[in-house]
Structure 1
Amino acid sequence: MADVRPVPRPVTLRSITLGDGTPAICVPLVAATADALAGRAAELADAAGPWRDAVDVVELRLDHLTAVDDLDRVAEAVGVVRAALPDEVPVIATFRTKQEGGARDITPDAYGRLLERLIGLDAATRPDVVDVEMYTQPDVLERVVDAAHAAGIVVLLSSHDFTATPDRAEIVSRLVEQQEHGADVVKLAAMPREPADVLTLLAATEEFRRGPGLVPAVTMSMGALGAVSRLAGDTVGSAMTFGAAGEASAPGQVDARSLRAALRALGGTLG
């Protein structure tokens, strides 16, 4: 008898389901203060504004906060963003470390304490998802993943390479490792040096989806060369793409409104 492959598990974030249909559009919020973040979130939420139709998910980039060492003020920033957004829009809390392309350095212990503080917030203000870098200190990684799951918060494990693109087998291996470490969603972003690198990332994403992948994957090739990867989720199985609403948080992010229009056009041809 042939082996029966387990059915992949989509992940529901409020009104959005990852891993089932057209990729969701995530818009990062980048600002230095809670007040500035609240203002940016309100702009995204404005039903009459230019961005509302382009936003499915919001990523709060905590590494850009001036007061990031004050955990109470970080918690306040998450709360004001949550309050400013419509109930149906989920929030990802991310502290991107310097070594993975973020704004500042942080010790593994401080990184773990920050994420655990957010996980411990009350249900009305805490994030729906925490981004945890897969190469953080193993005991910190395990502690944060366990705490998030105990609180009912989705874990997105991530890996970023801003210098090159790993080979296909390595990309698949990292995604599988993230899944084995308890990720509900896996993520990998890499910088291409030539067009073949973009194709490598897309092929690896598709291989993970049809092979060992049991959870939604989010992958992207960065920079202008990799922009096509942000539109290819329906084809290769990337469940979410990142678009800019003003300031981009990573190289190659497409304007979120243009991204929505492109995904709709491509969806019409693929569906």
Structure 2
Amino acid sequence: MAGVVNCRQLALGTGRPKIAVPITGHTTAEILAAVAPIKAAQPDLVEWRVDFYEDVTDAEKLQQTGQQLRAALGNLALLTTFRTHGEGGELALNETAYFQLCHAILVGGFTDALDVERYHDEASVKQVVAQAHQQNVVVIMSNHDFAKTPAQAELVQRLTSMVAWGADIAKIAVMPQSPTDVLTLLAATNEARETLNQPIITMSMGDLGKVSRLAGEVFGSCLSFATVGAASAPGQIAVDRLRPVLDELKLKG
């Protein structure tokens, strides 16, 4: 059974799935302006999608903005994510630039968790994981497929490999082409929850997959991504609509 991972004051992997909301601003001003309405909505975690940020490749500006964001968020946990273009992000970076960016985020000292994509050079991924752990930063290792839903065994294998590579939390998001694909994702989630010793985050994207964003406590996904303003992926639900449903579906006892 999966364990619990602490991220600032947040315990991931126990109870109702926690709620994350993205910040997708292009400028420092837009990023900081998003904080007040997000805090008013009371999510559990904020994801800063730095691939939207116009100065993302300038390490000094990235770190300065990150530190301002950290101060503005107070005790809210912060996940920092650069989503590569091949996995649905806004910007294409080569391997060297991607890992330089991960390093700059960690050196900046502003984030509680770092998204590290699984499908990069193994040695480089493991090096970033080690650096993050040295700084007590949680690693959410991820993989996103915007075209299809792989077979259940493949989904479980990907999540398993993330844990083997040092992930604190393993994450996978896939696109369904049919209701059967949604069932495949949910079955893989349940299997991984029963076999892995780390929490997992899974979702089936788009309108067809919305049910997966609601059913995490039953099947084993510890975090659901919602919106306050702009969405960062297809199928995200507004936080004020998602929270009551998660509460209603909470397992008793």
TM-score range, shorter chain: over 0.9
Deviations 1:150-170, CA, capped at 9 Å, x for gaps: 111111100000000010000
Counterpart position of 2:198: 215
The one of 82, 87, 98 aligned to 2:85: 98
1:39 aligned onto 2:8: no
Distance 1:57 1:141 in 2: 24
Alignment identity in percent?
Answer: 40
Instruction: Count how many residue pairs are aligned between Structure 1 and Structure 2.
Output: 253
**Structure 1 stretch displaced more, 8-17 or 228-237:** 8-17
Q: TM-score, normalised by structure 1?
A: 0.91
Partner amino acid for 1:106? L
Structure 2 portions without partners, runs of 5+: none
Equivalent position SS for 1:20: coil
Q: Which amino acid aligns with 2:69?
A: V
Q: Does the Cα contact within 8 Å between 2:148 and 2:176 map onto a contact in 1?
A: yes
Matched, 1:172 2:156: yes
Contact 2:2 2:194 in 1 (8 A): no
SS at match of 1:173: helix
Offset at 1:270? 4.5
Q: Match of 2:20, as an amino acid?
A: C
Look up the match of 1:146: 130
Task: String of CA shifts for 1:1-32, please: whole Å, max 9, x gaps.
Answer: xxxxxx63210112211111110000011010
Look up the match of 2:50: 62
Residue aligning to 1:16: 10
Q: Which amino acid aligns with 2:215?
A: A
Rg comparison, structure with higher value: 1
Q: Would you say the 8 A contact 1:34–1:77 is kept in 2?
A: yes
Q: Which residue of 1 aligns with 2:238?
A: 255
Measured after TM superposition, the shift of residue 171 of structure 1 is 0.4
Partner Cα distance (2:107, 2:57) in 1? 17
Letter in 1 for 2:185: L
Do residues 26 (structure 1) and 20 (structure 2) align? yes
RMSD over aligned CA atoms reads 1.1
Following TM superposition, the consecutive aligned residue runs of length 4 or more in structure 1 with deviations greater than 3 angstroms are none
Which one-letter code corresponds to 1:121 in the other structure? G
Cα distance in 2 between the residues matched to 1:37 and 1:254? 20
Using the TM superposition, give the Cα deviation of residue 140 of structure 1 relative to its aligned residue in structure 2, in angstroms: 1.9
Alpha-carbon distance in structure 1 between the residues aligned to 2:2 and 2:21: 25
Superimposed CA distance per residue, residues 51-71 of structure 1 (whole angstroms, 9 cap, x where no aligned partner): 12xx00000000001111211
